[in-house]
């Protein structure tokens, strides 16, 4: 595996889940594999879980880790090929990526969408240029359109908690005060469509996701209808894909509450975090025994470790 940017970069997603679950039982079994290898973590946007869990995963494998908040600590990056750089940008991404590729054996990069230019966001302008110029394996730490490390950890969590071979998993849109990317729901949909689960997405009209990721999902616009018999309910806000980056106001309240959850099969609650408490989901659900939010966050370590291990085995 040279790149980990989408579920399509892996031949067998369930095999990677099994590898991650094995590493969770024996985190230090491969602590020599990453000796004298360096992981660079490059952030253009904030992070708590992705930054710390990926760092921890690399340390478990014996790697050295360098972290750079390039948006704050680096030179202003130019993204346009052939640009006459007589404005505010100081360094071209092709030079920055090539240099960082000389310092690192594997690079992880986080680059959110601007949410104004759908075409630029969905062609992954920053990630693609970075991968092209750095010449080393690259892990997406959440790109403009996808968050595969999160989805791998989510699938691990479902695998650990499921009680039937084919559980019903519902992805439900949740309210938020800001316009958020579609990366987490796109990615969750992409992974669930390959996971052998019954997968349902529910959202208000106008919040349809890009069909590239949802073609195998059942879409139900009535939240209560979608929740019936669910085993897992994944809450997440996203901004409109079709009315790109806009926050539309649904007429009903889509916040997840205990009374709505009574329609489910005593379902587990999932959220990638950070969560806006009592806006997206009520406190009583997030703090209840049905909540898997901390287990998902813990599994981020072993998801990252499974990906790093696979890459290290290729380059060692």
Work out how close the CB of 204 gets to ligand CP at its nearest, in angstroms, rounded to a whole number. 23
Tokens read off for 12: 């067998």
Work out how close the CB of 37 gets to ligand CP at its nearest, in angstroms, rounded to a whole number. 23
Residues making contact with ligand CP (CB under 6 A)? 47-50, 142, 150, 272-273
Work out how close the CB of 110 gets to ligand CP at its nearest, in angstroms, rounded to a whole number. 8
Nearer to ligand CP (CB atom), residue 146 or residue 267: 146
Work out how close the CB of 273 gets to ligand CP at its nearest, in angstroms, rounded to a whole number. 5
Nearer to ligand CP (CB atom), residue 39 or residue 272: 272
Nearer to ligand CP (CB atom), residue 260 or residue 300: 300
Nearer to ligand CP (CB atom), residue 100 or residue 146: 146
Work out how close the CB of 115 gets to ligand CP at its nearest, in angstroms, rounded to a whole number. 16
Work out how close the CB of 43 gets to ligand CP at its nearest, in angstroms, rounded to a whole number. 9
Cβ atoms 25, 160 nearer than 8 A: no
Query: Minimal CB distance to ligand CP: which residue?
Result: 50
Nearer to ligand CP (CB atom), residue 188 or residue 207: 188
Nearer to ligand CP (CB atom), residue 121 or residue 142: 142
């Amino acid at each position: 595996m040279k790149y980990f940017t989408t579920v399509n970069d892996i031949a067998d997603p369930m095999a990677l889940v099994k590898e991650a679950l094995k590493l969770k039982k024996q985190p230090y079994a491969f602590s020599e594999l990453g000796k004298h290898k360096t992981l660079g973590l490059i952030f253009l946007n904030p992070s708590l879980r992705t930054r710390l869990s990926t760092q921890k995963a690399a340390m478990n494998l014996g790697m050295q880790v360098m972290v750079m908040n390039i948006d704050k600590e680096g030179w202003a990056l130019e993204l346009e090929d052939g640009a006459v750089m007589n404005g505010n940008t100081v360094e071209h991404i092709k030079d920055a990526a090539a240099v960082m590729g000389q310092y690192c054996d594997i690079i992880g990069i986080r680059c959110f969408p601007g949410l104004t230019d759908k075409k630029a966001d969905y062609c992954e302008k920053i990630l693609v240029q970075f991968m092209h110029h750095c010449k080393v394996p690259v892990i997406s730490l959440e790109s403009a359109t996808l968050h595969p490390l999160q989805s791998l950890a989510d699938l691990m969590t479902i695998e650990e908690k499921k009680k039937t071979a084919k559980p019903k998993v519902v992805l439900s849109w949740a309210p938020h005060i800001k316009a958020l990317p579609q990366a987490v729901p796109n990615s969750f949909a992409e992974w669930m469509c390959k996971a052998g689960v019954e997968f349902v997405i529910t959202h208000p009209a106008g919040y349809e996701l890009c069909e590239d990721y949802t073609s195998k999902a059942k879409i139900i616009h009535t939240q209560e209808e979608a929740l019936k018999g669910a085993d897992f309910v994944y809450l997440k806000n996203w901004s409109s894909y079709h009315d790109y980056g806009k926050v539309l106001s649904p007429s009903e309240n889509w916040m997840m509450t205990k009374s709505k959850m009574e329609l489910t099969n005593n379902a587990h609650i999932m959220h990638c975090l950070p969560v806006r408490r009592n806006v997206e989901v009520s406190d009583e659900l997030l703090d209840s025994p049905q909540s898997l939010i901390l287990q998902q966050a813990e599994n981020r370590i072993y998801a990252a470790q499974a990906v790093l291990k696979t890459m290290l085995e290729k380059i060692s």
